[in-house]
Copies of this chain bind each other. A is one copy, B any other.
Amino acid sequence: TIVQTLERHFSLQDVLVGKSVLITAGPTQEAIDPVRYISNHSTGKMGFALARVFALAGADVTLVCGPTYLITPEPTIRRVNVRSAQEMYEATAAAFPKAHITILNAAVADYTPAHPATEKIKKKEAEFAIELTKTVDIAATLGTLKRPDQLMMGFALETNNEHEHALGKLHRKNLDWIVLNSLRDAGAGFGHDTNKITVMDRQETVAEFGLKTKDEVAADLLSIIVQKL
C-alpha cells in the first residue's frame, strides 16, 4: 500500500503537519475556437499521486489541476480546477505566497492561440496557420518571487539533451530541484501508472531512480523534499 511505501522511506507520522503544499497537475487546454483546442498527453496521474502522499503525511495540500477525469485522491486536498495556461498561472500565483513547498508538475502549454475565434472556424482553405503566442512561464515567474523559506520543485520532459536542458531550467527558474521525465523509457511518462525519473538539485547532484509506480515515485520525491525542511 501507499502508506507502507511511505513508511519504508521515512517515519510518516505528522512529518508535514502545518506545512502548506501547492501542487500543479495535468495538462492545459488552449482554445482555438469554441470547439477545438491545443493540449498535451499529460493525464495528471503523477501530480495526483504527489497530492496523495503529501496529504497522507499531514500537509495542507492545494492541487491546481487542468482538465482530467481523475478523482481527488484524499478528502483533505483543496482542488482547484482550471483549463488554460493563463487560468493555471492565476490559480497557482494566488496560492503560492502561503505555500512552504511548491511542486510544479502540470504540463502547462508554452504557447496559446493568439486570436481564439468566438465562432467555430469553418473548413474552407486547404491550408491555414494558427498564430501562437507565449504563455506566462509559471515556474520562472514564481522563481523570481520565491522567498528563502520556500522550496520549489519543477518537472521537465525532454526528448533530446535531457540532462543539459533540465539543469538549464533548474537554474534559470530558481528551482530547488528539477525532476526529469524521459519519453525514451518504456512505461515512463504520460498516461502510464509507472514512471522513471532523474532528480537534480542546485548543486547539480544527479539521482537516478528505477522504474516504479507513480505512488512510489511520489514517496521518493516527498522523502527528498522532507530532508531539506
**Residues in chain A within 8 A of chain B (CB atoms):** 32, 34-41, 69, 107, 109-111, 114, 119-120, 122-123, 125-134, 137, 157-160, 165, 183, 190
Contacts and interface: CB of A to CB of B under 8 A. Distances in A.
B32 A36 contact: no
A165 B124 CA distance: 13
Contacts of A34: 159, 183
Given A126-B134, A127-B132, A128-B111, A39 B41 contact: no
Contacts of A120: 157-160, 183
Contact of A129 (B69, B107, B130): B130
Contacts of A131: 127, 129
A45 to B, nearest CB: 12
6 contacts: A35-B40, A35-B107, A35-B157, A35-B183, A123-B134, A130-B130
* Residue of A34, A131, A158, A160 ringed by the most chain B CB atoms within 10 A: A34
